[in-house]
Amino acid sequence: MFLAMDTVFDQCSIAILDSSGQVLSNHTETGKRQQTQQILPMIDAALSEAQLRLADIQALIFNRGPGAFSGIRINTAVVQALSVAHDLPCVGVSSLQAIAQSAYQQYSLTHLYSALDARMQQVYFGQYELVVDEQLGYSIMQPVLADGSDSTEQLLDYDSQTALNIPIAGNGAPLLALQDQQACHEDVWPDAVVIGQLGIAQFANVGGTEAAQALPKYLRNQAWKTLKEQGKA
């Protein structure tokens, strides 16, 4: 059994899945203002609904970003605390990969760009292709290196144009300069079920990490710090 959570996509989403990806409990509350108050009661409610305890959970899966800094901090901190308290491994899942996986499930897209609004006139950006996970028996959108980049996740300025004329999914899609007839799916919005499915595949292939290694991914250097910590105040 796996416990998955997301507070990065302007929501509080909790899911419990078994090793085959079957959903035992799934609840999402939209909006981000009450995430810190919502997340622990929602975890308790999900466990109760699935008739499980944390001792029955094999790993904790969370959205490690990139995305909203406060949202990343919330589910990362909760996962780290539960990991230490209950000796559970952690699995961090990319928000951009989650967008790609949702786009595959929603629109049957097998090669696409993920784009998430990063504010400050930029989007978080990645390229993904469908790969069949033979161990699990289902398909996963996996990252590929974009042209001219040594990273699968990067920041692009608003109005940038992509190298390939393939679909773009996520709320950052309309902020880029689309090519002629390039499909734009800004309505793709993953929940904890998608985070869980990707985390289960990752755990089956490479395992999890201890709490100290369950780290967020911000992409912007030092942007997660307060202005005082950055020396700007």
Neighbours of 179 (CB within 10 A): 13
Longest pairwise C-alpha distance within the chain: 53
Question: CA 222, CA 228: separation in Å to the nearest integer?
Answer: 11
The predicted structure's pLDDT at residue 222: 53
The predicted structure's pLDDT at residue 232: 42
The predicted structure's pLDDT at residue 227: 37
Residues 18 and 2: beta-carbon distance below 8 Å: yes
- pLDDT tens digits for the chain (233 residues)? 999 999 999 999 999 999 999 999 999 999 767 898 999 999 999 999 999 999 999 999 999 999 999 999 999 999 999 999 999 999 999 999 999 999 999 999 999 999 999 999 999 999 999 998 776 677 999 999 866 667 899 999 999 999 999 999 999 999 999 999 999 999 999 999 999 999 999 999 999 999 999 999 998 865 544 435 444 44
The predicted structure's pLDDT at residue 146: 67
pTM for the model stands at 0.92
The predicted structure's pLDDT at residue 226: 43
**Closest to 183 in 3D by CA, of 196, 202, 201, 170:** 170
The predicted structure's pLDDT at residue 148: 60
Question: CA 202, CA 106: separation in Å to the nearest integer?
Answer: 21
Question: CA 141, CA 114: separation in Å to the nearest integer?
Answer: 11
Q: Are strands 122-133 and 138-144 parallel, antiparallel or unpaired?
A: antiparallel
Compute CA distances 89 → 5, 124, 138, 228, 232, whole Å.
Answer: 14, 27, 23, 34, 37
